[in-house]
Amino acid sequence: EFNSFHIIWKSIDNTTHKEPTNPYSITFKQGIQHLQHKIQIISHFRNGMDELILFECEFDKCKPAISSKVNDLDVLLHDIYKHLPHYPIIQLHWEITDAIFMVPYKRTIGIERSAPKSGKFQDK
C-alpha cells in the first residue's frame, strides 16, 4: 500500500477498523480526534446518538505502548513512533476502551400536555 502507517482499533461491537494515517502531518491530538469522529459517525448511523460524552483510550495497552507521560498532545505521530524498527511501515493498535454517545438535546422531542389541567373532561 502507498501509506503503510496504520492505526488499528476495535469498535464496541468488536469490529476491527484500519485507518491509514500520515505520521508526518498528524499530531497525536488530531489522531485521537479523528478516531472520535469515526466512532461518532458509526454511532450516529447505528442508533442516532452522536454527542460524545465519554471517550477513553488506554495508552499503556496500545501496541506499541504510548507512554502515558506524553505531555504534549501536539506532538507529531512521527516523533512518537520514529524509534520503532521498520518505521514508517508499521501498524499501531490503539486500545479504545470506552466511547459513549447520546442523542443531542436539540433532537429530542418536546411533549406538550394537551389534557386540561383542571376541570371536568368534556367529549365534543
Q: What is the pLDDT of residues 88-123, one digit of tens each?
A: 888 888 888 878 888 877 777 765 656 556 656 565
SS (H, E, C) 41-95: HHHHHHHCCCEEEEEEECHHHCECCCCCCCCCCCCEHHHHHCCCCCCCCCEEECC
What is the pLDDT tens value at each position of the chain, 124 positions in all?
Answer: 446 788 888 877 778 888 888 889 999 899 989 988 888 888 888 888 888 888 888 888 888 877 765 778 888 988 888 888 888 888 888 888 878 888 877 777 765 656 556 656 565 5
**Nearest CA to 97 among 62, 48, 47, 50?**
62
pTM check: above 0.75: no
